[in-house]
Structure 1
């Protein structure tokens, strides 16, 4: 177990980092003032805690578990005992140290959680903390991996916000991260970014291009079975937006069966939500409401985005029938309020587009031709894109 014969601000900061506490939380943990800890952080080896505080630090270290002791020893072994150069823990190299890699990876896990809850400011702050600290030439293989992951997550953040400028930024982030993962020979990560780029294409209105990309990724061995099923689901999503609701339903149903086989309840629920919208487009409101009921009863609508998507789907279906159009418009207002509070720009634009349609003259759903053509054989009708039959 690690021991310290004489504490300085340097060892105090190493303990704080090993405990993975903020300055304020570390001060509360020790029972000292935040200004005291801030002084240690600033002066490092050139300041020494008072004798009674030295004893408090001894106790905090002694009570820490083995993992904390290992991190504490690692931090100190990397920097040694700096002399007059002691301005911080990193005194010998501009490249990241192993403890920084560990903190970076931990922060990326926190970013994933923040994005799932649409806490965009917090996620953005964590990502830029690392992306602004290091440059690619400084980084070894592990550092480049973390840098690429950070860049990809920044793309997710921009995509979720969904502004037009944000979509371009997301595309730029994905392309950059994919290049790094390709260089590192991590094909699964590169393929996941191909999937993200297809989503950006769909959100930008490039439905035919997105559908082709999804279709290729649905059979891409680089992806996991779950990601391939998602690609198959999104083939249906893009085709439904183009007006090919029956073929979209078949593609989505195949994805739904895959999610069931893979025991992925959340994806299974989302697939039913997408199926509901495809059947709405086909004019089959009874089936649409049945699918939506499954999505509501099995889904996990805890995040703002999930609530907006489910509420918008329900509103869209209700707006299709003149008898329930007022209820649909009321739900659209609810979804718009949640989307505005959560900075979900793409969802807001979708809601406004639905509202404009609903507030106009009622027209029954009908096939809206897009860039696809019909191909007929003795088994089924299916769309083909740019003259190339689908498999």
Structure 2
């Protein structure tokens, strides 16, 4: 957010203009007399509000949205008192703070699959300055913004190509490499391995996951995720027996680390491995464990769990109708939130079963 070292009548008037308030309304909101605001604006730089009022003005400024902050800056610029911009033409100090705030807001929106809101928050910054005009702080925020844009593209199923998750992750990785931040580089290596898996390059994904599962640049949680995802990639290749011990080991690790959502997700993946091996009783039990954990409430988590449940149900002739109903509900949620990758997965599962003439044929 914008900040003012010391308020004078000039900054106070700029704040009122940026807030789009009349003198009377502005005074009432600050809790001061109308005449006080009038004197500020009449005396300009020749008057300074009392210390307690300075704090009130700080609070009022912090409540402005991005458009209001821009109006505040413009009003100061008209009076020749604009906050100094870097010589490079890059972000001002207050813009760094607003950018950081918007990244956190985008993370919150993305966690609920509000892709449009998250994308709008990120794109207003990602294209605002040429990368060459950014200092190290700006480059760091740019790389974080670009990596988060990759997450949005991945969750929407836009995996490959010039405007895709793989391109965003690669761009962010390059900047973090320039800044020399190994943890962020490793996290993006993990994200790129996920894209490889989602794109069907399972052998490559398994190899990358295996290396990252013992990579000291990653947190313990991310190493456990990589360990689990080795199993996922193997399971998708039909190597169910090889996948199961890895998934079980990850479950124990997540339990020890008290990572409930990851623990539930690992049970879901282990259930699918048992389904692939034809062990439907154990697969059903593990899905029930994942459902009862209640660790994740995001739409994406719900769709993934429902898809796995539907897949298990479709593997038993006695529960095919129930499985199709579960997949229909998962598909409806995925369509609502624009999860195209999940929709493709659901359609692929459906194609594993042909319904015709009242008979069920399993491919």
Q: Please confirm whether the aligned pair reaches a TM-score higher than 0.5, indicating the same fold.
A: yes
Alpha-carbon deviation of 1:12? 3.9
Alpha-carbon deviation of 1:10? 3.0
Query: Which residue is 2:166 aligned to?
Result: 171
Hey, what's the Cα distance between the residues in 1 that align with 2:228 and 2:240?
13
1:188 corresponds to 2:192: no
1:148 corresponds to 2:143: yes
Q: 1:284 to 1:27 in 2, by over 3 A?
A: farther
Q: 1:362 to 1:90 in 2, by over 3 A?
A: farther
Hey, what's the Cα distance between the residues in 2 that align with 1:297 and 1:192?
30
Contact 2:159 2:165 in 1 (8 A): no
Hey, what's the Cα distance between the residues in 2 that align with 1:65 and 1:231?
49
Q: What is the aligned counterpart of 1:230 among 216, 225, 232?
A: 225
Q: Deviations over 1:77-115 (max 9, x none)?
A: x999645667x7676752111111111111111111111
Query: Which residue is 1:221 aligned to?
Result: 216
Q: 1:358 to 1:118 in 2, by over 3 A?
A: same
In the TM superposition, 1:8-47 aligns within 5 A as 10-12=14-16, 31=25
Q: Deviations over 1:154-191 (max 9, x none)?
A: 00010000145579611011111111111111000000
Query: Which residue is 2:302 aligned to?
Result: 307
1:110 corresponds to 2:101: no
Alpha-carbon deviation of 1:288? 0.7
Hey, what's the Cα distance between the residues in 2 that align with 1:31 and 1:358?
66
Contact 2:6 2:54 in 1 (8 A): no
**Contiguous gaps of at least 5 residues in structure 2:** 27-33, 42-48, 64-68
Q: 1:103 to 1:55 in 2, by over 3 A?
A: farther
Q: Deviations over 1:272-292 (max 9, x none)?
A: 011111111111111111111
Contact 2:126 2:145 in 1 (8 A): yes
1:62 corresponds to 2:53: yes
Aligned length: 331
Q: 1:262 to 1:359 in 2, by over 3 A?
A: same
Secondary structure of the residue aligned to 1:95 is: coil
Q: 1:71 to 1:336 in 2, by over 3 A?
A: closer
Hey, what's the Cα distance between the residues in 2 that align with 1:56 and 1:288?
72
Contact 1:174 1:197 in 2 (8 A): yes
Q: Deviations over 1:112-140 (max 9, x none)?
A: 11111000000110111101211111111
Alpha-carbon deviation of 1:207? 0.5
TM-score of the superposition, structure 1-length normalised? Answer: 0.76
Secondary structure of the residue aligned to 1:359 is: strand
TM-score of the superposition, structure 2-length normalised? Answer: 0.81
**Contiguous gaps of at least 5 residues in structure 1:** 17-22, 33-49, 365-391
Hey, what's the Cα distance between the residues in 2 that align with 1:143 and 1:225?
28
Query: Which residue is 2:205 aligned to?
Result: 210
Q: What is the aligned counterpart of 1:324 among 310, 319, 323?
A: 319
Q: 1:333 to 1:82 in 2, by over 3 A?
A: closer
Hey, what's the Cα distance between the residues in 2 that align with 1:235 and 1:12?
57
Contact 1:270 1:299 in 2 (8 A): no
Query: Which residue is 1:5 aligned to?
Result: 9
Hey, what's the Cα distance between the residues in 1 that align with 2:15 and 2:164?
41
